[in-house]
C-alpha cells in the first residue's frame, strides 16, 4: 500500500481538527448576530459531538474485527455500545444536567457533601480515563503500521502529540464543533467506501472480488459465546456507558434537563446508524478477507478491505478516507478524555489554575502513552469492553444510587467504589495472568458479578451508616428531579 | 485475553495501591511507638486533644449529631460513667452506661435550666427525684450521683451537661462546671459562625447590582429624541427598554446563566447605540459550551457599562468593545476588552480596595460579589493603563450545584 496515503490522511485530519478547534467559534460584529452568537448549542449539534467523542477505536476498527473473528456473537458489542445510551436517557441525562455539576467528582461531592468521596471518585475517573485512552493508542499504532509501514510507536506518539498541542494551546475552544465534525467524518469514512464496495460486488467486475467459497465463511474456529458471557457483556456495556467521564461532561453544554434528554435520544439514533457500517465491513470481511483473522490482524480489516477489493487510484482514495476516519476516532476520543481528565486533575491537584490545567492535560495524555508503549494490543473491542466493565462496577452504582436513592451515604459510596474497583481490577489481572485459554468465562467477563456486588455493598454500607445521610440531600434531590423554571428571557 | 494492556495497567494500579496501603499502615505503627514525653505532658496532650476533637463536633452548635460525637470525648475527659448533653427541650446525646435514666434527665435538669446554677444530686437521692419526675422507680444497680451544670451562652441557659458517677466528689463537680463553660464557649462560637454566614449572605444581597439611574435617564432621553423623527425605532427601543428593566428588576435568585446575561447586555448595547450611534462597535466570540454556566446576577452588564461609560464616552471617535467567553477546563473565562481611555492603576486599586468612591464603583461591586461567592482567588483580573484601554477577565467555576440560575 502507498505509505503516503496514511500519512496524508493523518495530517489532513489533524489539521482540520486544529483549524476547527482554533477558529470554529462564531464571531459576531453586529448586534443582529448577537442572538446567534449567544444561542445555546442545539441538541443536534451536541448529540453529534457526543457521538464523535464516544465512537472510539473500538467502534471504528474493533467491532468489524470482532465480527470477522466470531461472527454474529460479536453483534452484541454494537448493540451494547448503543443501548447504554438508553440507560443514560432513562436514568441519568436529565437529573445530572439539573444538578449543575460539571464532572462526576463534582456531582458526588455535591450529592454526598463530602471531600473524601470527591477524592475517591476523582481517582477512579482518572483511572478509567487512562485505561480508556490506552486502546485508542493501540489502534493508532496498528493503523500507522498497516497503512504506512512506519514503526508502530509512531502512531501513538503522533496522536498524543497532536492532542497535547491542541489542548495546551487552547485549540479545544470550540470542542463541540470539533467533535461534531469528527462524528460526521467517521460516518462518511465508513459509509462511502462501503457503498463503493457493494457497488463493485453488484457489478462483479473487481479483480479481487472472486466468488466466495463456503469454507471461508467462518475463518476461525472460536466457540460461540454462552449465555453467561453475553449477559455479562451486556451488563458491562449498558451500565458502563453511564460512567464515562468524557461523555457525561458533554451534557453540561445542554441548557437544561429536557434538552439533555433530547440530545441523548438523537445520540441513540446517530449511533444506531453508525454501527450498521462496521457490521457490514465485518460481514464482507468474513467472505473476502478471512486470512486477516488467521494472521491476527482482524482489527485492521476496515483499513485494508477497500484497498483489497478496489485496486488502483480509487482504492487508494477510499483507503485514505478510511484511515482519516480511523485517526478521527483516535483523536476525538483521546482529546475528549484528556480534556475531561485534565479538568478533574487540575481541580483536585493544582487548584484549578490555567497553568495547572495545561500540566494536567500533559499528565493525562503521557501516562497512557507510557502504558500503551509497554503493552501490546489484543482485540480493541474486547479491551474497551473491559474498561466498560470497570466503569460499571465503580462509577455507575454511585451515580445511579446517588440520583435515585435517598439513602446513599458517603461511606457507602466509597466502600462500594473500592469494592467494585478491586473485584473488577483483580478479575482483569487474574485474566491476564492466566491467559485467554485458561481464563474461565466468569473471570474474562466479570461484570455480571462485580456490578451487582458493587451495588450490594454500596446499599448495605449505606444502610449501616444511616446517620451519615447528608443534610443537604433533600434539597439536592428536589433539584435533580424537578423540571427547571423557564428562563425569564426565553422567547 | 492474554496480556491485554488493560490488564497489565490494572495490575500496575493494584500493586501501586497495595504499596501505598502498606506504607500508610507502617507509618501509623511507627508513630504509635514513638516516645511521647512524660506522664504530665501526655496527660496535657490527651486533655487538649479530647477538647479540640470535641470542639470540632460542637462547631455547628448544639445538635444531636455533633453532641453525640462530642459527648464521647467529654466523658473520657471527665472520667465519669455516663455523660449527657441536653438543650432546653430534650436530651441530645447520652454516652456511657445507665441509659434507662434518660427519660428522667429532663426532669432532673429542669431546675438547672431555670435557675442557671450547677446542681449536685448525691447518690442516695437520685432514685427519689427521678421517681418523682418520671413516675418510675429505679433499680438499685443504676444508683448514681449526678452533677448537672448549665451551658450558658451569653446570659441564656441553652442546655446542660450532666455527668453520672458513683460519687460526686468536689473534683468532678468543678470539672463538670468547667466542661459546661467550655461547651458554652463552643456554642457561642457556633452562633458567631452562623451570624457571620448570615452577614455574608446579606452583604451579597446588598451588593446585588442595580442598573444605574444615569442609564435610565439617558436611555429615556435618547428614545424621546426618536419619537418624532423615527417613531418605529422609538417604539422598538421602548420595548427593548421594557425587556431590559424586566430582567434587571427581577426579584428571584442571585444567579443567572451566562446566556441570559449576554441577552441583557445585547439589550443594553442596543439602547446605548441609540445614543452613541456607530461610535460603539461590539464584537463577540462565545464558546457555546459555557453559555449555561451559572454566574452571579448582573455581574457582566456592569463591566460592559463600565467599558462604555469610562472607556469610550470620554474618547474621541469610534470605540471598540470585544466580549469573549472561553471554555477553560473546569472554569468558564469571560473577558471584556475596550480600546478606550483606560484607568489609572493606582486609582483603580484604591477603588477596588474600597478606599475611595470613584467612577468605577460598578467594578468594585462585581469584584466583591465574585470574591464573596467563589473565594478570593476568583475576583476580577483587570489589565489597564491610561490611554491603553482596559481588559477585564472573570473566571467562574462551571460546576455550581449549590447555585440555582
Q: Let me know: does A398 contact A465? Beta carbons within 8 Å.
A: no
**pLDDT at B359 > cutoff 90:** no
Of B330, B325, B352, the C-alpha closest to B399 is B330
Name B65's Cβ contacts closer than 8 Å, sequence gap at least 6: A467
Q: Let me know: does A484 contact A256? Beta carbons within 8 Å.
A: yes
Asked if the Cβ–Cβ distance from A431 to B399 is below 8 Å, we say no
Beta bridge partners of B384: B390
Cell of B270: 442596543
Give residue-wise pLDDT tens across range B234-271: 999 999 899 888 888 776 778 888 888 888 888 888 88
Name B192's Cβ contacts closer than 8 Å, sequence gap at least 6: none
**A256 lies in some domain:** yes
Confidence of residue B43 (pLDDT cuts 50, 70, 90): confident
In order of A88, A234, A394, B105, the CA distances from A399 in angstroms are 11, 19, 9, 44
Chain B residues with CB under 8 Å of A372 CB are 5
Report the pLDDT value the prediction gives residue A210, as an integer from 0 to 100: 47
**CA of B166, closest CA in chain A: separation in Å?**
32
Q: Establish whether this prediction's ipTM goes over 0.90.
A: no
Cell of B63: 445538635
Chain B residues with CB under 8 Å of A428 CB are 4, 6-7, 10-11
Report the pLDDT value the prediction gives residue A25, as an integer from 0 to 100: 66
**CA of B176, closest CA in chain A: separation in Å?**
28
Q: Residue A122 maps to which CATH number? A: 1.20.1730.10
> Please, what CATH class does the domain formed by B39-192 belong to?
alpha beta
Q: Let me know: does A423 contact A446? Beta carbons within 8 Å.
A: yes
Contact status of A422 with chain B (Cβ, < 8 Å): yes
Contact status of B111 with chain A (Cβ, < 8 Å): no
Asked if the Cβ–Cβ distance from B5 to A255 is below 8 Å, we say no
CATH of B227-397, one of 3.30.565.10, 2.60.40.420, 3.20.20.60, 2.60.120.10: 3.30.565.10
**A415 lies in some domain:** no
Domain holding A34, by residue range, is: 3-377
**CA of A475, closest CA in chain B: separation in Å?**
9
Please, what is the Cα angle at A151 between A146 and A157, to 5 degrees?
A: 100
**pLDDT at A275 > cutoff 90:** yes
Beta bridge partners of B396: B332
User: pLDDT higher for B313 or B1?
Assistant: B313
Give residue-wise pLDDT tens across range B108-166: 888 888 888 888 888 766 655 554 444 455 555 667 788 899 998 888 888 899 988 88
**pLDDT at A107 > cutoff 90:** yes
Q: Let me know: does A383 contact A236? Beta carbons within 8 Å.
A: no
* Helix, strand and coil percent figures for chain B, each rounded to 5: 55, 20, 25
Q: Strand B280-286 relative to strand B319-328: parallel, antiparallel, unpaired?
A: parallel
Chain A residues with CB under 8 Å of B377 CB are 351-352
Percent of chain A with pLDDT over 70: 89
Asked if the Cβ–Cβ distance from A173 to B287 is below 8 Å, we say yes
In order of A178, A395, A400, B49, the CA distances from A340 in angstroms are 15, 15, 20, 42
Which range in A35-44, B233-242, B243-252, B355-364 is most confidently predicted, on average pLDDT?
B233-242
Which residues numbered 245-284 in B keep a CB inside 8 Å of some CB on A? 246-247, 250, 257, 259-260, 262-264, 266, 269-270, 273, 281-284
Asked if the Cβ–Cβ distance from A488 to B1 is below 8 Å, we say no
**A437 lies in some domain:** no
Q: What are phi and psi of B256, to 5 degrees?
A: -145, 180
Q: Strand B390-397 relative to strand B319-328: parallel, antiparallel, unpaired?
A: unpaired
Of A420, A481, A451, the C-alpha closest to A84 is A451
Which residues numbered 460-479 in A keep a CB inside 8 Å of some CB on B? 467, 476, 479
Distance of CA B143 to the CA centre of its chain: 47
Chain B residues with CB under 8 Å of A439 CB are 1
Give residue-wise pLDDT tens across range A118-153: 999 999 999 999 999 999 999 898 888 888 888 888
Report the pLDDT value the prediction gives residue A169, as an integer from 0 to 100: 77
In order of A180, A270, A341, the CA distances from A184 in angstroms are 7, 10, 25
Name B195's Cβ contacts closer than 8 Å, sequence gap at least 6: none
The residue-averaged pLDDT of B56-83 equals: 85
Lowest mean pLDDT across B28-32, B323-327, B400-404: B28-32
Q: Which of B11, B284, B377 sits opposite A34 (nearest CB)?
A: B284
What does the domain layout of chain B look like in residue ranges? 39-192, 227-397
Report the pLDDT value the prediction gives residue A184, as an integer from 0 to 100: 93
- Dihedral, A211, A214, A218, A221 alpha carbons, nearest 10: -140
Q: Which residues of B286-310 are buried (b: 16+ CB within 10 A; e: fewer)?
A: bbbbbbbbbbbbbbbbbbbbbbbbb
Report the pLDDT value the prediction gives residue A407, as an integer from 0 to 100: 92
Residue A486's closest chain B neighbor by CA?
B405
Domain total of chain A: 1
Which residues numbered 385-404 in B keep a CB inside 8 Å of some CB on A? 397-404
Residue of B8, B10, B265 to mutate, interface with A, max A Cβ within 10 Å? B10
Chain A residues with CB under 8 Å of B11 CB are 428-429, 432
Name B227's Cβ contacts closer than 8 Å, sequence gap at least 6: B234
User: pLDDT higher for A248 or B29?
Assistant: A248
Chain A residues with CB under 8 Å of B269 CB are 31, 34
Asked if the Cβ–Cβ distance from B9 to A376 is below 8 Å, we say no
Residue of A102, A222, A426 to mutate, interface with B, max B Cβ within 10 Å? A102
Report the pLDDT value the prediction gives residue A51, as an integer from 0 to 100: 92
Q: How far, in Å, CA of B110 to CA of B106, rounded?
A: 6
**DSSP characters over A73-131:** GGGHHHHHHHHHHHHIIIIIHHHHHHHT-SSHHHHHHHHHT-HHHHHHHHHHHHHHHHH
Q: What are phi and psi of A185, to 5 degrees?
A: -65, -45
Give residue-wise pLDDT tens across range A68-83: 888 888 888 999 999 9
Amino acid at each position: 500500500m502507498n505509505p503516503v496515503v496514511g500519512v496524508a490522511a493523518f495530517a489532513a485530519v489533524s489539521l482540520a481538527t486544529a483549524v476547527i478547534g482554533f477558529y470554529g467559534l462564531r464571531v459576531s460584529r453586529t448586534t443582529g448576530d448577537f442572538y446567534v452568537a449567544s444561542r445555546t448549542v442545539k441538541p443536534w449539534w451536541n448529540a453529534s459531538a457526543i457521538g464523535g467523542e464516544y465512537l472510539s477505536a473500538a467502534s471504528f476498527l474493533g467491532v468489524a474485527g470482532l465480527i470477522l473473528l466470531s461472527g454474529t456473537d460479536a453483534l452484541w458489542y454494537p448493540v451494547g455500545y448503543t443501548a447504554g445510551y438508553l440507560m443514560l436517557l432513562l436514568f441519568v441525562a436529565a437529573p445530572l444536567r439539573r444538578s449543575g455539576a460539571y464532572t462526576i467528582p463534582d456531582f458526588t461531592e455535591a450529592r454526598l457533601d463530602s471531600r473524601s468521596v470527591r477524592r475517591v471518585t476523582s481517582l477512579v475517573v482518572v483511572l478509567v480515563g487512562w485505561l480508556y485512552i490506552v486502546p485508542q493508542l493501540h489502534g493508532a499504532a496498528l493503523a500507522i503500521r498497516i497503512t504506512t509501514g512506519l514503526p508502530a510507536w509512531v502512531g501513538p506518539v503522533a496522536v498524543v502529540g497532536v492532542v497535547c498541542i491542541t489542548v495546551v494551546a487552547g485549540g479545544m475552544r470550540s470542542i463541540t464543533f470539533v467533535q461534531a465534525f469528527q462524528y460526521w467524518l467517521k460516518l462518511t469514512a465508513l459509509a462511502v467506501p462501503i457503498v463503493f464496495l457493494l457497488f463493485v460486488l453488484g457489478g462483479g467486475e473487481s479483480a479481487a472480488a472472486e466468488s466466495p467459497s463456503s469454507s471461508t465463511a467462518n475463518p476461525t474456529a472460536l466457540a460461540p459465546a454462552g449465555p453467561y458471557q453475553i449477559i455479562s457483556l451486556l451488563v458491562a456495556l449498558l451500565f458502563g456507558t453511564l460512567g464515562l467521564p468524557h461523555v457525561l461532561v458533554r451534557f453540561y453544554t445542554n441548557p437544561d434537563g429536557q434538552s439533555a434528554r433530547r440530545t441523548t435520544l438523537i445520540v441513540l439514533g446517530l449511533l444506531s446508524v453508525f454501527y450498521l457500517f462496521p457490521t457490514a465491513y465485518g460481514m464482507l470481511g468474513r467472505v473476502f478477507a478471512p486470512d486477516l483473522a488467521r494472521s491476527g490482524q482482524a482489527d485492521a480489516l476496515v483499513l485494508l478491505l477497500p484497498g483489497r477489493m478496489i485496486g488502483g487510484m480509487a482504492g487508494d482514495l477510499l483507503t485514505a478516507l478510511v484511515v482519516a476516519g480511523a485517526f478521527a476516532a483516535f483523536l476525538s476520543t483521546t482529546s475528549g478524555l484528556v480534556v475531561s481528565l485534565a479538568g478533574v486533575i487540575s481541580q483536585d491537584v493544582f487548584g484549578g489554575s490555567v497553568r495547572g490545567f495545561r500540566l494536567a492535560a500533559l499528565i493525562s495524555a503521557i501516562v497512557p502513552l507510557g502504558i500503551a508503549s509497554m503493552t501490546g494490543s489484543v482485540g480493541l473491542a474486547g479491551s474497551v469492553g473491559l474498561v466498560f466493565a470497570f466503569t460499571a462496577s465503580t462509577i455507575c452504582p454511585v451515580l445511579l444510587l446517588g440520583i435515585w436513592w435517598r439513602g446513599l451515604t458517603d461511606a457507602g459510596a466509597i466502600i462500594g467504589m473500592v469494592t467494585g474497583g478491586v473485584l473488577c481490577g483483580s478479575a482483569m489481572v487474574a485474566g491476564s495472568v492466566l491467559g485467554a485459554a485458561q481464563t474461565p468465562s466468569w473471570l474474562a467477563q466479570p461484570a455480571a458479578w462485580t456490578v451487582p456486588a458493587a451495588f450490594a455493598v454500596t446499599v448495605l454500607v449505606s444502610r449501616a451508616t444511616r446517620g451519615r445521610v447528608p443534610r443537604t440531600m433533600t434539597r439536592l434531590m428536589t433539584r435533580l428531579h424537578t423540571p427547571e423554571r423557564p428562563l425569564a428571557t426565553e422567547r | 485475553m492474554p496480556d491485554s494492556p488493560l490488564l497489565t495497567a490494572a495490575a500496575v494500579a493494584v500493586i501501586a495501591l497495595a504499596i501505598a496501603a502498606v506504607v500508610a499502615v507502617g507509618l501509623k505503627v511507627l508513630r504509635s511507638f514513638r516516645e511521647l514525653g512524660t506522664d504530665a505532658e501526655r496527660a496535657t496532650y490527651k486533655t487538649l486533644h479530647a477538647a479540640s476533637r470535641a470542639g470540632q463536633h460542637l462547631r455547628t452548635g448544639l445538635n444531636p449529631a455533633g453532641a453525640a460525637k462530642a459527648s464521647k470525648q467529654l466523658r473520657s475527659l471527665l472520667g465519669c460513667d455516663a455523660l449527657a448533653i441536653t438543650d432546653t427541650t430534650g436530651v441530645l446525646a447520652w454516652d456511657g452506661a445507665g441509659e434507662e435514666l434518660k427519660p428522667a434527665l429532663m426532669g432532673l435538669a429542669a431546675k438547672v435550666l431555670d435557675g442557671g446554677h450547677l446542681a449536685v444530686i448525691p447518690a442516695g437521692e437520685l432514685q427519689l427525684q427521678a421517681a418523682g419526675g418520671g413516675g418510675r422507680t429505679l433499680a438499685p444497680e443504676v444508683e448514681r450521683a449526678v452533677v448537672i451544670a448549665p451551658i450558658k451562652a451569653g446570659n441564656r441557659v441553652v442546655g446542660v451537661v450532666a455527668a453520672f458517677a458513683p460519687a460526686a466528689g468536689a473534683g468532678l463537680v468543678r470539672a463538670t462546671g468547667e466542661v459546661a463553660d467550655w461547651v458554652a464557649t463552643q456554642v457561642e462560637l457556633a452562633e458567631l459562625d452562623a451570624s457571620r454566614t448570615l452577614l455574608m449572605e446579606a452583604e451579597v444581597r446588598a451588593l446585588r447590582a442595580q442598573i444605574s439611574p444615569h442609564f435610565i435617564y439617558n436611555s429615556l432621553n435618547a428614545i424621546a429624541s426618536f419619537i418624532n423623527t423615527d417613531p418605529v425605532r422609538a417604539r422598538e427601543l421602548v420595548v427593548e427598554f421594557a425587556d431590559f428593566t424586566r430582567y434587571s428588576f427581577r426579584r428571584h435568585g442571585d444567579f443567572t446563566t451566562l446566556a441570559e446575561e449576554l441577552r441583557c447586555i445585547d439589550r443594553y448595547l442596543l439602547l446605548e447605540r441609540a445614543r452613541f450611534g456607530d461610535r460603539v462597535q461590539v464584537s463577540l466570540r462565545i464558546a457555546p459550551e459555557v453559555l449555561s454556566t451559572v454566574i452571579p446576577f448582573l455581574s457582566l452588564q456592569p463591566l460592559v457599562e463600565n467599558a462604555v461609560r469610562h472607556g469610550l464616552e470620554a474618547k474621541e471617535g469610534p470605540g471598540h468593545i470585544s466580549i469573549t467567553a472561553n471554555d477553560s477546563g473546569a472554569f468558564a473565562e469571560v473577558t471584556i476588552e475596550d480600546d478606550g481611555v483606560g484607568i489609572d492603576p493606582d486609582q483603580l486599586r484604591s477603588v477596588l480596595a474600597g478606599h475611595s468612591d470613584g467612577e468605577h464603583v460598578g467594578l468594585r461591586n462585581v469584584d466583591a460579589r465574585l470574591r464573596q461567592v467563589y473565594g478570593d482567588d476568583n475576583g476580577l483580573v483587570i489589565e489597564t493603563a491610561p490611554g491603553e484601554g482596559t481588559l477585564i477577565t472573570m473566571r467562574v467555576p462551571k460546576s455550581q450545584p449549590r447555585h440555582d440560575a
